[in-house]
A and B are shown apart, each in its own frame.
Chain A
Amino acid sequence: MTVEQLKEYIAGKYPVMMTPLDTGRYDPVYEVKSGQLLEIARALRDDENLKFDFLCNLGATDTGERFEAVYSLASITKKLRLDFKVILPYEGAKIDSVQEIWPGANWFEREMWELYGIDVKNHGNLKRFLLPDDWDQGHPMRKNWDAPDFVRFPEL
């Protein structure tokens, strides 16, 4: 399946639940509503023609106004690539854990919870991870987090 065929296939099969974003230049990027995350994730993994069984990467992003959780998937057997993202509000960000679909999401979600303060539902292992156990200075990857010795580089 080529990238064009993949886009057509997704558009035909999940016309409402996956909204294409035109920012992706090479691999297709979609937006998924947070309520439908588990349903879509399971469908993408189990679909006979897609088989996205490999979670390459999962990372949160703070754009300054909202959070985005970006899921990068690959299919080992079908040799496909696809990204999708879930947009979350700044206040009370919550997302479902996708561990039952891709067990490897565990650490990525822990990192998301620790560094961004995004609550992960049904995770089961939300413990301090990259930061020291007694860390109490908030979520350092947020854009509004500032350390005393953090110097912003000027615009060139």
Chain B
Amino acid sequence: MSALRTEEFIVNMGPHHPSTHGVCRLMLTMDGEKIVAIEPYIGYLHRSLEKICENRTYHQCIPILDRFEYVTAMSCNYTFALAAEKLAQVEVPERAEYLRVIMLELNRIASHLIFFGTTAMDLGALTPFLYALRERELIMDLFEMTCGQRLTYNYIRIGGVSKDIPAEFVPKCREAIKIIDGKVDEYMALLNGNPIWKARTIGVGYLSPELAVAYGVSGPVLRASGVKYDIRRDDPYSIYDRFDFEIPCRENGDVFDRYMLRLDEIKQSIRIIEQALDGLPEGEIKGKVSLKFKPPAGEVYSRVENSRGELGVYILSDGSDKPVRVKTRGGSYSQLQALPHFGAGGLIADLVAIFASLDIIMPEVDR
């Protein structure tokens, strides 16, 4: 009897697959149940934000870049404002810096909560998603109270922030982070002892530190692989050098470590917010920045630690009121690029876990 003829075949995952968090399409070459090769196809969400920015004044760029990475829009606002402030050497008032740090860290917590919920949901646990969104709502309320928006804030402006916080913000914020602090322990209790959760995550999707650095992987994914690099600590911006916090780092580089690392980061963000609320000074919230903001000719690359890794904005200015070039760099871009080099070899179900653990969102990749 002749042997059975076998051949590799191609499975198209996405662009509308529920676990691809947007519209990413992965072409999977399969050998039976095993994935042999992955090829990502992107561009379904390309809105040419960079080209649009070239045709806008600096102030008008900020609401455009809100749409670049909308889960943590505060970081996008901030990175662009930071680059423009570096170019024009604008002084930012003390109170504005504190408000920025509070907002950035609240936004990081909100983003990690989304990560926690969607990752668990992708692996078949629906309840954590409901819990995570319940806690995220507390943060969304704080943002809405401050700037009227829940997703695209347009809050951090060149030279400061757009509005001062209302009087009830500080007590509500303290209450919210206290609740979230307790809930994070609950999340861990909910999942970490679960044998199904452990079987799906521990040892799955190992990313070596060498590969991570070579492909420009940054943020929580890099730190879960054992590389202790956080821009807040190693290339400090704003006033992060005044706060006492730890950089969580883990060794195994698998899905479980990437998940745990983000929960640890929520705890550290809470520490930063507490210190910032204690030290919040009175005073101005916006520096002297003209509406006809014209930075001198020059170029600058600013980068901040976002919840998805390094978020960078490069601006080239020729001295006019519009930038010549705005180049954005998001963490998801490099993470997705590295995926084919460590994600293959397992089952499709494992790929869903790996993809979720990278916390990729597509608008940041496609721009």
- A interface residues (Cβ-Cβ under 8 A, vs B): 23-27, 29, 53-57, 59, 61-64, 68, 70, 72, 74, 76, 79, 81, 83, 102-104, 106-107, 128-132, 140-141, 150, 152-153, 155-156
Contact = CB atoms under 8 A, between A and B. Distances in A.
Across the A-B interface, the 7 shortest Cβ-Cβ residue pairs: A59-B327, A104-B216, A23-B298, A104-B215, A130-B43, A57-B329, A61-B325
Interface string B276-303: 0000000000000001100001111101
A64 B324 CA distance: 9
A55 B218 CA distance: 11
Nearest to A27: B301
Given A104-B217, A130-B43, 14 more contacts: A24-B298, A25-B87, A25-B300, A26-B86, A56-B310, A56-B329, A70-B327, A79-B234, A83-B301, A104-B216, A129-B42, A131-B43, A150-B55, A153-B56
Interface centre among B42, B87, B214, by most chain A C-beta atoms within 10 angstroms, is B214
Given A107-B337, A131-B43, A76 B314 contact: no
A32 B287 CA distance: 37
A101 B48 CA distance: 29
Contacts of A152: 55
A153 B322 contact: yes
Contacts, number: 108
A23 B299 contact: yes
B47 to A, nearest CB: 10
A56 B301 contact: yes
A23 B123 CA distance: 49
Contact of A72 (B213, B297, B301, B334): B301
A24 B300 contact: yes
B338 interface: yes
Contacts of A53: 213-214
Contacts of B314: 57, 59, 70, 72
From B46, B56, B217, residue with most partner A Cβ within 10 Å: B46
B216 A76 contact: no
Interface residues of B, number: 48
Contact of A156 (B57, B89, B218, B229): B57
B366 interface: yes
Nearest to B313: A57
A76 B214 contact: no
A141 B53 CA distance: 11
Interface of B: 42-43, 46, 48, 50-51, 55-57, 86-87, 89, 213-218, 227, 229, 234-235, 291-292, 297-301, 303, 310, 312, 314, 316, 318, 320-322, 324-325, 327, 329, 333-334, 337-338, 366-367
B301 A57 contact: yes
B236 to A, nearest CB: 10
Given A23-B299, A81-B235, A140 B51 contact: yes
Contacts of A102: 214, 216
B311 to A, nearest CB: 10
B337 A61 contact: no
Contact of A103 (B87, B214, B303, B325): B214
A57 B231 CA distance: 15
A72 B298 contact: no
B312 A155 contact: no
Nearest to B83: A26
Contacts of B367: 130
Contacts of B87: 25
A70 B301 CA distance: 10
Contacts of A132: 43
Contacts of A156: 57, 291-292, 321
Q: Among B213, B300, B301, B333, which residue has the most Cβ atoms of chain A within 10 A? A: B301
Contact of B86 (A25, A54, A63): A25
B232 to A, nearest CB: 12
8 contacts: A25-B300, A57-B312, A57-B327, A63-B325, A70-B327, A72-B314, A76-B213, A76-B227
Given A104-B215, A104-B338, A153-B322, A79 B235 contact: yes
B312 A56 contact: yes
Contact of B366 (A54, A59, A68, A130): A130
Contacts of B301: 27, 56-57, 70, 72, 83
A6 to B, nearest CB: 13
A131 B173 CA distance: 43
Nearest to B321: A156
B43 A129 contact: yes
B172 to A, nearest CB: 36
Most buried by A among B217, B292, B314, B324: B314
